[in-house]
Structure 1
Amino acid sequence: MEEQKKARLCIEILQNCRNELYHDFPYLDGAFASVGYRCVEKPVGISTDGDYFRTECGYLIDLYRENPARVTRGYLHMLLHCLYLHIFPEKDVKPHLWNLACDIAVELVIEGEGVRELALPEDLTRNRFIYRFGGKKCSAQQIYQMLEKQDFHESVEQMQKWFAFDLHDDWYTNGSGEHRAKTKRKWEKILAYTGQNRQDQKKKRGSRKGEKEEYLTPMARSRYDYKKFLKQFTVPREEVELDLESFDYIFYHFGMEEYGDMPLIEPLEYKEVNRMEELVIAIDTSGSCSSEIVQQFLAETYSILSNRENFSHKMKVYIIQCDCCIQDVVVIHSEEEWKAYSRNIRIQGRGGTDFRPVFTYVQEQRQKKELKNLKALIYFTDGDGIYPRSAPDYKTAFVFLERTQKMDLVPSWAVKLLV
């Protein structure tokens, strides 16, 4: 491929990434408009100095061919470096620690946005590292101090592997002092504009009548209730029990009348029933959910599961308490165990809210074959937390006691329910 064609293709790739990101981050329009694109022969990789995204063409084309979402995420990664002024380090910082601190900081921001299209392949160790921050967006300066104090067990090399995307050499060597100062003032203005722009975007979404009605309508429909949702995932099975409903009394009565004590048909000894065999119930125990509300949810759940039609003798119910990390896990196998748990339940947590640890834990249980036929996960919450980037392969419902604007935060792949 000719060099000019390669350069054009690289620019088209970056423009395409920008356009995709604009759909989810319209308030970054000022930042999107403030960087240009340049192709370079070396070094191999991609970088930014606040004026341009510079890339070696072969590197970008190969990376985009292999994983387009990785490049789109990387575009946002670099843009956030500019926006948060990471590209203007203090003179006395240790470059390798500052680079890593900035990479971790912007990746925490991207994770917190929960955009499905930007999701990375699951990495449990990386996820556990992120969970330690409890959903908080720490600044690069704060993370730099943690790195200096060696607060993390992981090696610098391991963390670089998880969070690095671009080269940072331009931050330390590129351009004259006057030009760098001008670029820094530009990004300071863009940062102030972006903050205001994001607030304006939120206000517009909340004030437009058409959008508000569109929001309320599915919420009203979602009140088809808990019971119907759970019944979708019951499994038909035969149990030893007289099936009097399918029993034909006409033939029974005819045999008894005509031949004495000789019924022509007897009730079936096996009855086909629908049972819920495996279920995960997660409870948001962050400070925003009171114990009274949690108790109300558990009472409603028990009223459904205690119904003889739903509760299976072989049922396995995981009840997980989680705020920003797993606080408690109890596995219920019988109606008696459920009653005992309900009587003695103690709410644990009261920290920030991150829904992702529950999904990670469930995946681990499935890999261990502890959960073999999971159909659904129920997550009781007030809706204010960090959601998983991608949908699991089982049905998920986020359950609310009352209608709230926070329902709008629930990902499109999950069901929103009102108890």
Structure 2
Amino acid sequence: MSETREKLEEMGFRILDAVRTELLLSMRFMAPALNSLGFKMDLATSYAGTDAAYIRFNPGFLLQTYVERPRKMNRMYVHMLVHCLFRHMFTAKEREDPELWDLSCDIAAESVVDSMTYDVIARSHSSFRDYWYEKLEQEVTILTAEKIYAWFFGRARDYSVEEALRREFSVDDHSFWQRLEDEEDPDQTPQKKTPPGAPP
């Protein structure tokens, strides 16, 4: 690894560690989750995302966001943790429309983050966001990714609305989820293969 790359990676680690520390000071109940993800620099992304094992980041994005909008960085960290807690990335392959699943997961994750009353992750709500929270709560009651996806998928699609929703709710890079599609669910015990001629 080149010296420049090492310095960029170290800078990213320091930023994410500072974000995690700030969140821990305000949200101690989330300590196990906050400490569950490692950090890796990954120049395949222009911002940051998680594969449920690491927060993979572009160092330029981290530095700019942390300097200019540190609270956005805090929210992004918690948003990614919510994806992990609800295992959104592990059920993506079960959905017929991956882009709609991504959107549904982001709406669900943001609804959880917005329900947390901590200054460290607070943000002002747009009227558009509040309208959709209210509408979806009336339609599906509990804003889980599964219910949101089913509601959108079962209706006549309005792609301009969906794009507006992506601009409002999209936070992190879900491309890392694609790397998990061919991997076996770690909670499932692999079946043993019976050698030819052996009794069942």
TM-score normalised by the chain length of structure 2: 0.80
Partner residue, 1:149 = 154
Give aligned-pair identity as a percent.
28
After superposition, the C-alpha distances for 1:375-403 in whole angstroms (9 at most, x for unaligned) are xxxxxxxxxxxxxxxxxxxxxxxxxxxxx
After superposition, the C-alpha distances for 1:141-177 in whole angstroms (9 at most, x for unaligned) are 0011111123897711111111111111121224862
Whether the 8 Å CA contact 1:146–1:152 is kept in 2: the answer is no
Whether the 8 Å CA contact 1:38–1:55 is kept in 2: the answer is yes
Query: Which residue of 152, 155, 167 corresponds with 2:173?
Result: 167
Partner residue, 1:126 = 129
Secondary structure (helix, strand or coil) at the match of 2:148 reads helix
Whether the 8 Å CA contact 2:92–2:177 is kept in 1: the answer is no
Q: Mind listing any 5+ residue stretches in structure 1 that lack a counterpart?
A: 186-419
Change (3 A) 1:110 1:152: farther
Counterparts of 1:158 and 1:90, CA distance in 2: 21
Q: CA deviation at 1:137?
A: 4.3
Change (3 A) 1:137 1:28: farther
Give the superposed CA RMSD: 2.4
TM superposition outliers: structure 1 runs of 4+ over 3 Å: 150-154
Whether the 8 Å CA contact 1:48–1:168 is kept in 2: the answer is yes
Counterparts of 1:74 and 1:167, CA distance in 2: 10
Please identify which structure carries the higher strand content.
1
Counterparts of 1:120 and 1:160, CA distance in 2: 17
Q: How does 1:47-86 map to 2 (within 5 A)?
A: 47-86=49-88
Residue identity in the other structure for 1:104: I
Please identify which structure carries the higher helix content.
2
Change (3 A) 1:13 1:155: same
Partner residue, 1:138 = 143
Counterparts of 1:96 and 1:90, CA distance in 2: 10
Query: Which residue of 12, 16, 19 corresponds with 1:17?
Result: 19
Partner residue, 2:198 = none
Partner residue, 2:195 = none
Are residue 115 (structure 1) and residue 118 (structure 2) matched? yes
Whether the 8 Å CA contact 1:45–1:55 is kept in 2: the answer is yes
The count of aligned residue pairs is 181
Q: Mind listing any 5+ residue stretches in structure 2 that lack a counterpart?
A: 189-200
Residue identity in the other structure for 1:144: Y
Q: CA deviation at 1:90?
A: 4.7
Structure with more contact order per residue of length (Cα contacts < 8 Å, sep ≥ 6)? 2
Change (3 A) 1:112 1:36: same
Are residue 100 (structure 1) and residue 106 (structure 2) matched? no
Change (3 A) 1:139 1:151: farther
Change (3 A) 1:70 1:151: farther
Partner residue, 2:193 = none
